[in-house]
Structure 1
Amino acid sequence: MIGVAEGCSGKVGMAGVGGSVRSCTCSPSSFFLRKAPSPVRFKLKFRFRINALFGDWGLGNRKNSLSFSSTHQHQFTFSLTDTDTVRVSVLSSISDVSAKEWDACAVDASGPNSFNPFLSHAFLSALEHSASAVRETGWMPHHIVAKDQTNNILAVVPLYLKTHSYGEFVFDHSWANAYHSYGYKYYPKLQSCVPFTPVTGSRILLRNTSFKDQIFDIIVSAMKDITANSQLSSLHVTFPSENEWLKLTQKGFLPRIGMQYHWKNRNYKNFDDFLMDMKQSKRKNIRQERKKISAQNLIMKRLRGHEIKARHWDSFYTFYRNTTDNKWGTPHLTREFFHELGSKMGDNVLLVVAEEGDELVAGALNLIGGDTLFGRLWGCLPRSYYPSLHFEACYYQAIEAAIELNLKKVEAGAQGEHKIQRGYLPVTTYSCHYLIDEEFREAIQDFLEREASQVKLVIKLLHDSGPFKEGIV
């Protein structure tokens, strides 16, 4: 769960899967072309300003319309063997691929025991059908599909053409500002990701064939060609698996790392078993926080599948809007999205709710994967404040659910050092970036190398001062 200060459990919440609180003052529509500076002068000026450029994210209002009009019909044919070919196409909607075929790629990519619900056809189509991730909101689907000669699907890629950087959780607003300051266009750009969702997983979803490595190379070549032929600034792959990140880095993408907080299940039998691994002071604090829930006459419930009714989703949408309003974010997700999610994903949805009498007052949305519980969104009633409720709904209920379901971990999303004291430790996340312009590429590469050393240091320091007893890893 994302972006709430320690001790705050009501008025201020997360900017989670559908809300981002960072924005950029420059408008894509204000970009214009002018003669570029000479290479030498440009390089010196850009390096001189790099510290300021990459330290200033800026704040402002999002421009909500995708103004780029794509007239290219991208289709590529590659030779797999002397007799076999692979056809790579770009689709404008995930509805153009059957759910069965898309999900077969997703399952093969992650493995049957590590199913990632965010890569499913159900989740991605819910985003499109609910008008949450569509052209009008700045997410023009450009999904990649690779087929063999007999029309069998070999791979798919969730891919979007974008003219802003919202809902990504890997911040590149300063890169756009740098492009703009030199009269270059940063937007539109291509983005391979799950919209509004900072969850790690494969991005090039390959069927498990003997030639899948060749298909991977073919798709990467096709995405690069699309970027260059469409005169786009860049191609970004955010929150890929570590293995995918390494392979893309070898193919000319700039590597970037980030940090999230995850909880690890060490074969715990129950919540108290987990607490015994904590340092005494942390264990005492958690118990005190949990006692506050019953003292406020709050009842916590975990609902799955058919237990979640339309009224729950309507209430949760109110909670979600309260979160985005309080965090100065944008409500990227529509009310229809939550209803679509419930109807399409069934028991993969876990909704934690807090009740005061007969009234729903808060909730936390989670999705259940093959071995992971993914915490995504939190919210409460406007003008309501319940001490420690945020921690209970988002973190402690998630831990109890993961133990009960025998899941390996809980991914609690981006941001929030307050998670550490509640058993969630920092882990490395990944992204990679392919930039066409060599001068910008060189400057950004220098920035990413310095950023990576700082991130690694922070992760080590946080682990060394973690909440667990010595020897617990």
Structure 2
Amino acid sequence: MTGTTMTLHRRIAEIPAREWDACAGDANPFVSHAFLSALEDSGSTGPTTGWLPQHLVLRDGEGHLLAVAPLYAKGHSFGEYVFDQQWAQAFTQAGGRYYPKLQVAVPFSPVPGPRLLVHPDTPDADARRLLAGRALRQACGELDLSSVHVTFCTRHEYDLLGESGWLQRLGVQYHWDNDGYASFDDFLDALASRKRKAIRRERRDANACGLTFHTYRGTDITGALWHDFHQFYLSTVDRKWGSAYLQPDFFPLLSERLGDRVVLMVARHEGVPVAGALNLMGRDTLYGRNWGRLEGHDWPFLHFELCYYRAIDFAIEHGLKRVEAGAQGQHKLQRGYRPCLTHSAHWISHPGLREAVAEFLTHERAAIMAELPALDALTPYRTQA
């Protein structure tokens, strides 16, 4: 790293938005300065939630920006969706100290995308990504931490880090691909007859119980709608025994800072909002973010209609290539979402823990790759002759 300076920043506001976004690009809104600053300015990340910003910045000897990374120091493993609690437990039982650790991630968002963000004017971008990887390892050592985890990174980053000695981990999500469909019915025509009828029945039942559905974008999302949506979000957290990390101010800040890239789909009953699904729109992808509904009401197929089918409608209408509907949920397969691999890379300092985790990941990767054909067979698409 001769001639290169590494700095860690406790607030993304210390890094000019113009510089950060030059590295992040405009394809994935989750790594934008706007999204990450909304998390910090709303108190959703910070000391109270255990996501302490330590954003990485690399500059050359003349002060020119080379790369950045959304980096956090963490004393727990909540809000990550790549689960390493068993690693922490095993290391603790052996007398080690797993926490705190470093996490290169988008907090509370299992959204695949770039994590080692390189300035476009930088020659040899891969060399800069590897330099960022070395800087992360250096920071881990200088801070005397157990590990660094780069979660939901791109396949390219995964390969680069793996070649330089990082441990590699796979996961599975379910994404919908737009095969040039002109309409939702055009998409349905690609499905087997029985599956096509099942989806039509679900959509018919969801729209026949007195609900109306509306899509709002950017500054058209009023403060009252965000207040309602935060209540929906809290009700989902309560049902799933989770933690409500996202603070009320986070949601209106998104509208203010990301504009029309924020897409809120709302279900109303007798004019009153009763459920909502928050999405962010990238250059070619609609990303499902959060959803929730009023407690005590259970309209048929509401979740599928609001989160999956309406998202497909939106993607087709706006010429988007895919919909990424978040983590988990094999029920998405029956509704046209295909299994897709996700990628993470992990640097573990302690040789013994590193060896044990490496062996575990070897078996886990093999199991995931063996499962993929079976998952793909559950999708509703017609078998090609």
TM-score, length-scaled by structure 1: 0.80
Structure 1 residue 412: Cα displacement: 0.7
SS in 1 for 2:207: helix
Structure 1 residue 438: Cα displacement: 0.7
TM-score, length-scaled by structure 2: 0.98
Residue 4 of structure 2: aligned partner: 86
Aligned counterparts, 1:24-173, within 5 A? 78-79=1-2, 85-107=3-25, 115-173=27-85
Report the Cα distance in structure 2 between the residues aligned to 1:213 and 1:371, rounded to whole angstroms.
23
Residue 385 of structure 1: aligned partner: 298
Q: Among residues 91, 102, 106, which one is paired with 1:194 in the alignment?
A: 106
Report the Cα distance in structure 1 between the residues aligned to 2:130 and 2:290, rounded to whole angstroms.
35
Report the Cα distance in structure 2 between the residues aligned to 1:366 and 1:86, rounded to whole angstroms.
38
Residue 265 of structure 2: aligned partner: 352
Can you list the C-alpha shifts for 1:135-188, whole angstroms capped at 9, x where unaligned? 221111110111223322221100000000000000001011101111211000
Report the Cα distance in structure 1 between the residues aligned to 2:241 and 2:42, rounded to whole angstroms.
22
Q: Report % sequence identity.
A: 46
Q: Among residues 370, 373, 382, which one is paired with 2:283 in the alignment?
A: 370
Aligned counterparts, 1:451-462, within 5 A? 451-462=364-375
* Contact 2:334–2:378 (CA under 8 A) maintained in structure 1: no
* Contact 2:335–2:379 (CA under 8 A) maintained in structure 1: no
Can you list the C-alpha shifts for 1:170-225, whole angstroms capped at 9, x where unaligned? 00010111011112110000000000011111111001222333322322222111
Residue 219 of structure 2: aligned partner: 306
Does 1:432 find its partner at 2:345? yes
State the AA in 2 paired with 1:302. T
Larger C-alpha radius of gyration, 1 or 2?
1
Can you list the C-alpha shifts for 1:33-75, whole angstroms capped at 9, x where unaligned? xxxxxxxxxxxxxxxxxxxxxxxxxxxxxxxxxxxxxxxxxxx
* Contact 1:262–1:409 (CA under 8 A) maintained in structure 2: yes
* Contact 1:135–1:141 (CA under 8 A) maintained in structure 2: no
Structure 1 residue 384: Cα displacement: 1.2
Return 5+ residue gaps in structure 2 as ranges.
Answer: none
SS in 2 for 1:203: coil
CA RMSD in angstroms comes to: 1.1
* Contact 2:44–2:245 (CA under 8 A) maintained in structure 1: yes
Does 1:400 find its partner at 2:313? yes
Report the Cα distance in structure 2 between the residues aligned to 1:211 and 1:275, rounded to whole angstroms.
44
Report the Cα distance in structure 2 between the residues aligned to 1:281 and 1:275, rounded to whole angstroms.
11
SS in 2 for 1:126: helix
Can you list the C-alpha shifts for 1:304-363, whole angstroms capped at 9, x where unaligned? 112210011000000000000011111111111111112111100000000111200000
* Contact 1:260–1:414 (CA under 8 A) maintained in structure 2: yes
Moved more, 165-174 or 337-346: 337-346
Structure 1 residue 460: Cα displacement: 1.3
Report the Cα distance in structure 2 between the residues aligned to 1:398 and 1:413, rounded to whole angstroms.
12
* Contact 1:293–1:299 (CA under 8 A) maintained in structure 2: no
State the AA in 2 paired with 1:323. T
Report the Cα distance in structure 2 between the residues aligned to 1:95 and 1:270, rounded to whole angstroms.
42
Return 5+ residue gaps in structure 1 as ranges.
Answer: 1-77, 80-84
Residue 418 of structure 1: aligned partner: 331
* Contact 2:285–2:324 (CA under 8 A) maintained in structure 1: yes
Moved over 2 A (4+): 148-152, 211-218
Give the length in aligned residue pairs.
384
State the AA in 2 paired with 1:104. A
Can you list the C-alpha shifts for 1:70-92, whole angstroms capped at 9, x where unaligned? xxxxxxxx33xxxxx22111111
Report the Cα distance in structure 2 between the residues aligned to 1:214 and 1:428, rounded to whole angstroms.
25
SS in 1 for 2:158: helix
Aligned counterparts, 1:170-181, within 5 A? 170-181=82-93
Asked which structure has the greater RCO (Cα within 8 Å, sep 6+), the reply is: 1
State the AA in 2 paired with 1:226. A
Structure 1 residue 129: Cα displacement: 0.6
